[in-house]
Structures are given as C-alpha cells and as structure tokens.
Structure 1
Amino acid sequence: MSSEVGSKDKGADLFAEMMMAQAQGAMALFGQFLPHAESSGASGAEEAAHWASLAVRLQTMWAEFQMEQLAKAAATPPRFMDPHQWIASSESVLRQLPLASPEVQHRLWSEGLALTNAVLAQFGIGSAATSEAAPATAPEPILPRQDRRFEDAAWREQPYFALIHQMYLLISEQMLAMAESAEGLDPPKKRQLVFATKALIDAMSPANFPLTNPVALEKARETRGESLVKGMENLLADLRRGQLTHSSPSAFTLGENIAATPGKVVYETPLFQLIQYTPTTEKVLAVPLLIFPPWINRFYILDLAPKKSFVRWAVEQGLTVFMVSWKSADATMAELVWDDYIQAQLDAIEHVRARLKVPAVHTVGYCVAGTTLAATLAVLAAKGESDKVKSATFFTAQVDFEEAGELKNFIDDRQIEAIGQLAADGVVDGRYLAAAFNALRGNDLIWSYVERNYLKGEDHPSFDLLHWNGDVTNLPARWHCDYLRDLYRDNRLVTAGSLKACDVPIDLKRITTPCYIQAGREDHIAPPESVWKLTRHLAGPWTFVLAGSGHIAGVVNPPAAGKYQFWTNSGEPDSLAEFIVGAQEHAGSWWPHWRKWLETVDPVLVPARGKRRPGGRGDTVIEDAPGRYVATR
C-alpha cells in the first residue's frame, strides 16, 4: 500500500492485515487437519482443495481492496476506525511500563511457568500432573467473569485455549498493576496511563483473533470457512466507511420506523431546524416544551422506535413538543463558536414564544446541550430576561467538569491539538467522536463486535439504539476544541465571569429558573457525581433525580418497559452521598415523576388548536418531520 494511504490509516491497514493472516492461518489449519478427521465426508484432497480455495478468496478480496484504496488515495480524507486504535497507541503505552526491567521479566517468566504447569496439570499434561504439590485449579488473576467473550466452555475445557486464556489474564494483571503503581506522573497523566493500559489489555485479548478464539474456529468449522469469508467482507465494508458497524444499515428508515413521531419543521437556520410535533390530546399544557439534544448526536435519540420514543410519550402526556435538529457541520460552519450555539438556543426559545404567543417555554437540555442550556439561562439572567424560560430540565448534563469521568482521558493539550490537525475544512469528522465514546466501553462497543462481525461473520442486528449510535455528526473544529479546552480542561464555566456569551459574562449563580436535574447512576460519560454539582451553582429551586442505568438507557426509559428504577430525596442534601443515604427508591421510569413536576411549575391547560397543530389551515411550515438536517451526512 502507498505511503500516503498508510500514513492516513496505518492502524486500520495493520489490523486488517493481522486479521487476514489469522484467517488464512485458520484456513490452512483446517485444510491440513480436517481431511484426516473421521467425520469428513469428502476425500482428503477435496477437503484440502476447499479450504485452499477459501484462502484464495480471502487473498483476492484483500488485494482488490488494496487496489481500490490506492486508486482513490489522493481524494480520500483521513479515516478513523475504532477497532485498530490500540495498534497506534500501544507502543507509547508500553514505553511507560517497566516491561523491559530484568526483575519484571524474571517475575513474569516465573509466574508464567508456574501458571503453565498448573493449567496443564488440570488436564493431566506435564510433570505437574503427577505432583502432589501441584494446585488443583489454575490461578484466576483478573477479569475472567467480567468479559463475556470468555463465557464459552472451550476457554476452560480445552488445554490450548485454557492456557492462552490464563496467560492473558496473568499478563493483564501485571500490566495493570504496573500502570497503577507508576511513579513520577501527575494524577491526570496517571489516569491516562491506566486508561490506555486497560484499553490495550482489552485489545490484546485472544478472543480478538481467529487462531486464538475457539468460538470463531468452531464457527469456521461448522460453516466450512464461510464465516471467515463473511467476516472479512464485514471488515472491508467497515474499512470503506471508516467506522465499525454495530447495527444493520438497512434496518431503519428515518421518518418510517425511527424518528417517526408526526410533526412539521416550522423554522430553520443554517445551524438548526425546529420541529413541532402534532398533538394527540384535546388539551395541552399552556407552556410548550422545547428540547435541545446534543449537537454531537442526531436528535432522534429521544425519538427512537415508537415504544421507546420520549417525544411520542411526551406528546401523549399533553405537551406541545418542539425539538431542535442540529445540522451536521460542513465547511460553511467552520467558524462557529460557543456564542453561535447559545444564540441558537435563544433563537429557538424566541421562535416558540412568538409562534404560540406564549410568555415562556419549558426547556430540556441533554448532555452537552444541557451544558449550553445552563449558559443560555445565565445569559438570559444577565439580560433580565429569565422569565422567558419557565423551567429547565437537564438530562445527564455537566457544568462543573472537575469530576467529568473517563472522557477527561482524551482531553489534554496534545490531544486537543491533534483534533485540530485531523479536521478537514475546519470540520471534525463525526467518526472520530464516535470512536472516542466507543473506546470508553471498548469490550462492549468495539471488541465484542470485532468477534461477532469479523471473526464469526454474523449478520448485523436490527437495533434502533445502535443504529443511532452509528449515525454520526460532524462538528466545527474550532468550537469543539474551544469546548474541550475551556470546559473539560480548564473548567471555566463554574467561575463567574470567566466565560462570556452574546456579549455578557456568564454567572451560573444568577440562574433562578426552576430546574429538574436527572443523572444516571452508572453513567460513564457524565458521572452522577459530576452532574450533581450543577445543584451547587444555582440560585433557584431544583429537583434532583438519580435514575438507574447510564447515559442513554437511564434517560431513554419508557414507563411501559417497566425497567430500572429512580431515586428521589425530599430533604436538602449537600452532596450526592447525602442524597443517596436519604433517598427513596421508586420502581420503573422517572418520566411520570418529571411530568408531574412540570405541572407543579405551571398546571394551566389550553385547547390543542391553532398553531398548536403544526401545518393546519393558514400555518406555513417548511417540511414534514424529521426534516432534512437529520439526514445530512
């Protein structure tokens, strides 16, 4: 492959080449041994020819892919694919671990030899099998029950794979211990080293490669190698799109079985479209609801398949619902900054107020859009216009980033600079952002799919949440870097006057708007300890709710599903720990609790007529929901 292609996607090429070599090795293994098996119905020569032909098919597929990439190398923008990132980073991680130390190498050799003897002894192999001093079972150093990819009995019942598995666990334990005991690093660098080491450990797993994965080998045997061919097809398809596929690309169609709640686009700017949903009740709350979804994702996380749709549920509960649909950034948006997104929220608030001729709106800000919603409220407070927002609801949103969780491992000067360098035409490719979030749960969102899609050649599932997760959006590079630098790294939003927007200084303590704050107990993107801190920076009344599950399932939890739980505390706790100690647990979804809270803010109902029904007589609208912007790639 050309140096240009290699420089752009060196990790992907190396990962694919490793997979190719492993798959061909598996073909050779079957071609050599299966013809001699008693169960073989074909002659040895025919069987060997079959496996040899499959190996040729793999080689041809890879060669054709390389030629294809060479042909378009000059025009291809930098690509990113999450499964291979460990290859590019592993060298720098390993340099920080004392693996070259003679003492460490001696210990690893001694412990590895003892472990080998112990494992083999379980199967009556080796001298240890007859030794009275031999342990009855092999040591289990770390991780064996936390990684579902090792659940198959073959990892324990077959000597070769049992030994590989246990050696992997031993080395993993040693590497992690070295990272956690590393000296001379400041706390952020130490956390980064531990995080990177864990990521490398996950990537080193023998479950990730055909020749060391008994499940993949058995699947290849059952399918006579077709699973490996299908897996290579899946891998090459992902390399072409520059992104790991989690869900069947053809399973969902916007406006039909996802993002399908009826409504109209009633307003648009170069940055966002505003959707108004059609009411289904005769009366609605007088105060409409305006939702700001994260601009780093598509809005329909809150309008998934009908049974999961928060939007559909809210409409059924008698709310006039508006949704902002952010445009995926292109070169025309390269210069957008903090002020532009806050002004967009202000514009949306003004448009809803004017359209329905109401003095105020309820607002919702999800994740990063909740962060800017807090800034928007501070801007309104500074201008004496707080009464334009009747209430604010925050879904897993942070304003104080001191304890912002594992995402901070991606935020330092070097990484922020790298983001700027990766940007093309001033825009950050959304696949980079998706890969960063996937890396936070590497086994669940990367390596389990490597095994499923590439090693076992399985078809992609039809899952609306995974479809949404892969439907990435681009961001203005300047704005994204400023956000990471000013908020995540420097934590300036909670320092009064440190940041400005729309020509006024931001002071969160001027916010008197009633607030409903929801956090996810197991949220790894916006940890509950971090979300709680919003309560420490408000001057008005607030209600805090801790929901079961994490960043997505903790929010998208329809009552009909009967899943999870949530906690409330009617006291005045000063910390999340105090909140939890005095909390009352409630079964199921927190959505009805929030709906009742809205009525405590303003219970007035009005008929659902006139412009409460978008697209009615005399009402000019732009297009049907979900609109064009959500389909812009």
Structure 2
Amino acid sequence: MREAANENRAIDPIWHSMIGKLSAGLSPAALATAYLDWSLHLMASPDKQADLAAALLSNPQRQDPSQDPRFRDPGWLMQPYKSYAQGFLAVQDWWDRATRGLPGVDPKHERIVNFATRQMLDMMSPSNFAATNPQVMARTAEEGGNNLNRGLRYWIEDFNRVISGHPRRPSAHSVGANLATTPGDVVLKNDLIELIRYHPTTDKLHPEPILIVPAWIMKYYILDLTAERSLVAYLRDQGFEVFIISWKNPDASDADLSMQDYLDLGPRAALDHLKRRGAERVHAVGYCLGGTLLSIAAAAMARDQDRTFCTVSLLATQVDFSEPGELSLFINESQVAFLEDMMATKGYLEADQMAGAFQLLRSNDLIWSRVIRHYLLGERTHDNPLMAWNADATRMPARMHSEYLRRLFLENALAKGQFIVDDAPVALTDIRCPIYSVATEQDHVSPWRSVYRLQMLSDTDVTFVLTKGGHNGGILSQPGHRNRHFRAGLKTEGDPHVPAQKWFDSHPPQEGSWWEHWSDWLRAKSGDPVEPRATGTATTASAPGAYVFG
C-alpha cells in the first residue's frame, strides 16, 4: 500500500525537498511532535513547574566556567566575561533540567527536545559574539580590528563558495598527490566498486589475503590517508596481501540500487575475485557501515556453510542499533519518510545533508569553534589531510539509503535475525570464525557501548578493543602516535556476558597503538608466509583508481 501511495504523489517530494534545504535535511514534523509531547506533559505537571520555578529563583552560578571547553581561555575568569559565562551556563543547566525527567514523555522525544534545545542555546553562547568573548576582544585591541576585517573577508569567500555550489576550500592535499598514494592496482571494476590490490613489500606473504570493506558514506582512502597514516600500508608491510574496495559515488542513475546490490556488487564480488586468484581463506575487515555490510555478508556465508572467512575484523562498527547514540535522534519514521521524499527528487541523498547531521552531533567542535576562529579571530583552520578527506563527501542512492535506515536503524533487523539476504534471514550467531572488534572512546557515530553489544549477538570468540580517540582519529592510531592507548579483552565462546562499564573498569589501558595488537592477532591466525601467488595481468588502472574522484 505504501508503494502504491508513493506512486501517486507528485507534490510532496518537491515540497519536502524545498523544506529540507532550509532545515538541513531535518524533518520539522519530527521536531514539532517531540516538543508537543514535552510541552503538554510539562503543562500537566505542577510538580515539575514548581521545581523549575524554584531552580530559576535560586539562580545558581558556577564558580569556574573553565570546566566548559568554550570558556577555558584565562580571559573568561575576568569580569564582566566571567558573569557572561556563568549566566549562560546557569541558563543551560536550567533548560537541561527542564527537558529531562518529565514523567510520561516518550524517552526518544525527551532526547530530541533536550538535544535540539541544547543546539539552540549553543548558538547563543557568549563565546560566539565578539563583544562578549574576551579572547576576541583582546585580539581586536591587539590588531586594531584587522582580525574582524579578515574574518569578514573569510566569511564572504565561504559564502560565495556555498552559493556557487563548491563549498570546499582549496586544499594543498589531493588524492593521488599526497593522499591515497600507496602503490597498487585496480584488479576488478564493476558498476559499483573498484577493487584495489596493494603492491607487497615483503618477499613472502601470508597465504590469507586481507579484504577491507570501507563504508559507502565515505571515500576509502581514510585508511590510506598519507604515507605516515596508512592502515593499508602498515598491513602490507607486515607481510599481508591487502585489497580494499573503493565505492562509486552514486548519481541519479543508481537510485534503485538496494542493500542486496551493495552486498552482491561489493564484498561478494571482491571475494569471488580473490577466490578466482586461488585464495582459499580470507581475513575480512570492515570499517563503520562497511563493517555492518561485512557482518551481513559473513552471516549469509555462515548460513550457507561457506567458511572462506578465517577471521572478521570490525572497526567502529555497529550491528545492534538499539542504542546508536545521538545519531538516532535524526532517524525516526517521520525523518526517514522526509528523507525519502527529498531523495525522490534526485535519486540520491546529497553528501552535505548527511555531513550536516554529523556536524550537529558535535556542533561546538565542528561548527561554532570554527565560526569563532575563522570569522572573529580571523584565523583559518590549518589545512590537513584529515580535513581534506572529510570534505570529500559522498552521496547515497535513494533505495539503498532508505533500506539501510529502515531495516537497520528503525527495525534493528540484523540484531533480531530478521535481515533478509537472498530471500532468507541471516543471523550473526551463525558466524563461527574469530572476530576482532574495535571501538573508539569518543565516537559520536558508533558509540563504543553500542559497538560492544556485538558480544551479546555472537557465539564465537570475540576480541574487543577500545582505543583512545574518535570515530576516525581513533582508528588512525598508527604506531608512534603520541598519547595513544587502548584496552583489549577476549570473550570466548560460552563466557558469561560482562556489562560494558564493568569491562571498561576491569581492563586497564595499554600504551601504544592497537594496530600492533591487531597485527599480532592476524598473524597468529594466518598461515606461514609463502611465495606470492601470481597476480595475472587483469589490472584496469593504477591505484587509487577512478571511482575515488567521483
């Protein structure tokens, strides 16, 4: 019935697409529903109203605003700036209290209201305005206002780039020049992927190649960022034959690609190629949503008695979406239906719409701190490889993105054993090969406690590793990276479940890079190095290929 109804709609998709451009892709109806739920219950709760009135009259003042990262500059300890910061934090605390703990409010609506209110308050922080920011005022006095002149010029430059459709700032870092430079060849190309094989640097190789499946919402070269920060180069130098998938950046012609298509044309096609080259066993690695897709592939293979995978490694990967963190605030029935209409007009989701959602999760770090630095202090953020990669965003085809949001986030079908592959459900409990699962401590995309839930859905040995850093920075923890640590523990088949916090408390941090720990784990589960197998001549291009430029 839903599909039939959609066929008759001509105005809704266009109208919602227009609204979406003004609302950063967020559904106004979803936000309004949450606020209505909260406000009606607040009006019906005299006790909560009295509690908030008492809190307002007490007017608490924080003595040390430097506990908030926005107010750590010493200038915030001086008047009147200290009062500005304390007053703002008191208001922020009051609204946090007002939007939490109200009986009867849907818990998800409560989180949405709290998050949205916090975002609105963040815009009004005294740190965001020149006259109430001591650091900006000191810089203005020091430079005679030249910082504000530069900031205005930077704002005009950025505004002109946005309206011209080219929001990326010029960068000294580019793919093939100083990004994604590890030597290799494209050994397979189809309508969705290019498969890259990296040139070995050791005389002998472990007989089990490594197949890496990155997320389709990012360019693959996050794992081959620079010569110094390349996970694929590190694995290559450890004596492994490394392959990685480079996804095509979809356009309108790819609108009908499904999750099944991504599975068939992605990891399955790559695995078929490795088998044709003589690989009997394969180390499979997935990053972020690429790891989710790999988990689906591994479960389907296990169901069909295919034991090709000797290990599965999942990097910052969720398979249970019951607790996906603040990203879930952007994913409900209203939001998904709204996005489906937006995608219907072009056949895909624009890259900047997904990027905007991720930025909102860390608005102080990714939005307002840049506004202050660029437009008030007159400083441009230092150009670096990770920023260049982050700006190189990708689109998502309409059908696949809709299926992914509905089946994984809304229905949590994979964790329930209800995700359909080849017309039959798959279960993660069927996977019998050892699993290496990595999470990062400050991950806003794949919260580590959500990643940790894999152990509740597995009937095999799982090595869980928690490393310092965020979703990308924590994964790029190469040996020699300063101030890095990780925790590691093994849950063998049959062990009782250990709650996440108890696991954290009972596993002390180890100094260094988790890469070395992982390499040792892979090596222990690999055969002795042998002479490299013949590669053949079926190469279509040199790395990094063509799809990465899409």
User: Shorter-chain TM-score: what band?
Assistant: 0.7 to 0.9
Query: d(CA) in 2 for partners of 1:538 and 1:394?
Result: 13
1:410-444 CA distance string (max 9 Å, x none): 11111112212332411001111111111111111
Q: Post-superposition shift, 1:246? A: 11
1:493-544 CA distance string (max 9 Å, x none): 1222x22112332122211122111122332322222212212222333222
Task: Tell me the equivalent position of 2:503.
Answer: 579
**Contact 1:569–1:584 (CA under 8 A) maintained in structure 2:** no
Q: Post-superposition shift, 1:582? A: 3.9
Q: Post-superposition shift, 1:556? A: 1.1
**Contact 1:363–1:392 (CA under 8 A) maintained in structure 2:** yes
RMSD: 3.2
2:382 paired with 1:461: yes
Task: Tell me the equivalent position of 1:346.
Answer: 268
Pairwise mapping of residues 141-290 of structure 1 onto structure 2 (< 5 A)?
144-159=65-80, 161-242=81-162, 249-290=170-211
Amino acid at match of 1:467: A
2:247 paired with 1:329: no
Q: Which has the larger radius of gyration?
A: 1
SS of 1:486 mapped into structure 2 = helix
With over 3 angstroms needed to count, the CA separation of the structure-2 counterparts of 1:429 and 1:164, relative to structure 1, is same
Structure 2: give runs of 5+ residues left out of the alignment.
1-14
SS of 1:145 mapped into structure 2 = helix
Aligned match for 2:486, one of 561, 566, 571:
566
With over 3 angstroms needed to count, the CA separation of the structure-2 counterparts of 1:317 and 1:202, relative to structure 1, is same
Amino acid at match of 2:210: L
Task: Tell me the equivalent position of 1:473.
Answer: 394
With over 3 angstroms needed to count, the CA separation of the structure-2 counterparts of 1:94 and 1:511, relative to structure 1, is closer
Query: d(CA) in 1 for partners of 2:304 and 2:209?
Result: 22
Task: Tell me the equivalent position of 1:600.
Answer: 524
Query: d(CA) in 1 for partners of 2:273 and 2:439?
Result: 29
Query: d(CA) in 2 for partners of 1:579 and 1:92?
Result: 38
Q: Post-superposition shift, 1:288? A: 0.6
Task: Tell me the equivalent position of 2:367.
Answer: 446
With over 3 angstroms needed to count, the CA separation of the structure-2 counterparts of 1:93 and 1:210, relative to structure 1, is farther
1:4-50 CA distance string (max 9 Å, x none): xx99899xxxxxxxxxxxxxxxxxxxxxxxxxxxxxxxxxxxxxxxx
2:512 paired with 1:588: yes
Query: d(CA) in 1 for partners of 2:221 and 2:283?
Result: 19
With over 3 angstroms needed to count, the CA separation of the structure-2 counterparts of 1:80 and 1:631, relative to structure 1, is farther
Query: d(CA) in 1 for partners of 2:509 and 2:176?
Result: 37
With over 3 angstroms needed to count, the CA separation of the structure-2 counterparts of 1:211 and 1:103, relative to structure 1, is farther
Q: Post-superposition shift, 1:589? A: 0.9
Q: Post-superposition shift, 1:198? A: 2.1
SS of 1:199 mapped into structure 2 = helix
SS of 2:352 mapped into structure 1 = helix
1:155-205 CA distance string (max 9 Å, x none): 33232x333222211211111110113343111111222222222222221
**Contact 2:158–2:167 (CA under 8 A) maintained in structure 1:** no
1:265-322 CA distance string (max 9 Å, x none): 1111121111111111111111111101111111111111221111111111111111
Query: d(CA) in 2 for partners of 1:604 and 1:461?
Result: 45
The count of aligned residue pairs is: 522
Query: d(CA) in 2 for partners of 1:507 and 1:288?
Result: 25
1:363-382 CA distance string (max 9 Å, x none): 10111111111110111122
SS of 1:559 mapped into structure 2 = coil
Amino acid at match of 1:333: D
**Contact 1:336–1:476 (CA under 8 A) maintained in structure 2:** yes
Aligned match for 2:539, one of 614, 618, 621:
621
SS of 1:391 mapped into structure 2 = strand
2:360 paired with 1:436: no
Pairwise mapping of residues 484-499 of structure 1 onto structure 2 (< 5 A)?
484-496=405-417, 498-499=418-419
Task: Tell me the equivalent position of 1:547.
Answer: 467
With over 3 angstroms needed to count, the CA separation of the structure-2 counterparts of 1:223 and 1:608, relative to structure 1, is farther
**Contact 1:261–1:312 (CA under 8 A) maintained in structure 2:** yes
- Normalising by structure 2, report the TM-score: 0.86
Structure 1: give runs of 5+ residues left out of the alignment.
1-5, 11-76, 116-138, 612-617
Query: d(CA) in 2 for partners of 1:90 and 1:380?
Result: 41
**Contact 1:90–1:200 (CA under 8 A) maintained in structure 2:** no
Amino acid at match of 1:182: L
Amino acid at match of 2:433: T
Q: Post-superposition shift, 1:578? A: 4.5
**Contact 1:93–1:197 (CA under 8 A) maintained in structure 2:** no
**Contact 2:52–2:94 (CA under 8 A) maintained in structure 1:** no
With over 3 angstroms needed to count, the CA separation of the structure-2 counterparts of 1:588 and 1:88, relative to structure 1, is farther
Highest relative contact order (Cα 8 Å, sep 6+), 1 or 2?
A: 2
Task: Tell me the equivalent position of 1:417.
Answer: 337
Pairwise mapping of residues 280-429 of structure 1 onto structure 2 (< 5 A)?
280-343=201-264, 344-354=266-276, 356-385=277-306, 387-423=307-343, 424-429=345-350
Query: d(CA) in 2 for partners of 1:107 and 1:594?
Result: 54
Q: Post-superposition shift, 1:397? A: 0.9
With over 3 angstroms needed to count, the CA separation of the structure-2 counterparts of 1:245 and 1:176, relative to structure 1, is farther
Query: d(CA) in 2 for partners of 1:624 and 1:164?
Result: 57
Task: Tell me the equivalent position of 1:537.
Answer: 457
SS of 2:66 mapped into structure 1 = coil
Query: d(CA) in 2 for partners of 1:9 and 1:104?
Result: 41
With over 3 angstroms needed to count, the CA separation of the structure-2 counterparts of 1:366 and 1:144, relative to structure 1, is same
Residue identity over aligned pairs, in percent, reads: 34
